[in-house]
Amino acid sequence: MSYRDKIVTRAQLRELVPALRRDGGAIVFTNGCFDLLHIGHVRYLYEASRLGDALVVGVNNDLSTQRLKGPSRPLVPEGERAEMLAALTFVAYVSVFEEDTPDELIRIIRPDVHVKGGDYSPEDLPEAPLVRSLGGRIVIAPLVNGRSTTVTIARVLERHSSWLRQSEDEGE
């Protein structure tokens, strides 16, 4: 199977979930924008994958990412973000969703474990009551200090503006 085959629709997930649960398999679910995939994402996703037998990742589509992150985001289109996540060997499936929260995917998957990054707390997680009502538990993964999309964008802008100033000075 190609890693691109791991990018699935909701309808496909409905068919795949029973096979993932066969023999008592535990499904782990997480979601996010994953705009500018970085080492913090990779470490968080890897740790999430170790909490069960199959990791399913929900990815906000471009419009919901824009609603959540602002008009200048996403920087990377949803199809490319999904493809990069699917290329990670420890990710079982990736599904793009259009809502701001992954409630519909959670209802389909009924995850045993729902993982979010350390910038959340279980009390602030909008989908936590739904996950718990379906018998799942919430796990908050630790952050990798200094590694976030926002920090990366700020670093690029800072270095780029410094580079532009230097280039302008040299050109005078």
Tens place of pLDDT per residue across the chain (172 aa):
899 999 999 999 999 999 999 878 999 999 999 998 888 899 999 999 999 999 999 999 999 999 999 998 999 999 999 999 999 999 999 999 999 999 999 999 999 999 998 888 888 899 999 999 999 999 998 876 656 666 665 666 676 666 556 666 666 5
In whole angstroms, how large is the CA radius of gyration of the chain?
Answer: 18
State how far the Cα of 66 lies from the Cα of 71, in Å rounded to an integer. Answer: 5
User: In sequence order, what E strands does the chain have?
Assistant: 27-32, 54-60, 93-97, 113-117, 137-141
Q: Letter for the amino acid at 50?
A: R
pLDDT at 61: 98
pLDDT at 149: 61
Distance of alpha carbon 163 from the chain centroid = 32
State the pLDDT at residue 105: 98
Residue 32: closest CA among 80, 123, 100, 91: 100
3-class DSSP assignment, residue 124: helix
Q: Which residues, in sequence order, are CB contacts of 45 under 8 Å at separation 6+?
A: 30, 55, 57, 85, 88, 90, 91
Concatenated DSSP letters for 40-57? HHHHHHHHHHTTSSEEEE
Query: Domains in the chain and their CATH numbers?
Result: 3-144 (3.40.50.620)
CA atoms within 13 A of residue 118's CA, in its CB half-sphere: 13
- What is the distance between the alpha carbons of residues 44 and 118, in angstroms, rounded to a whole number? 9
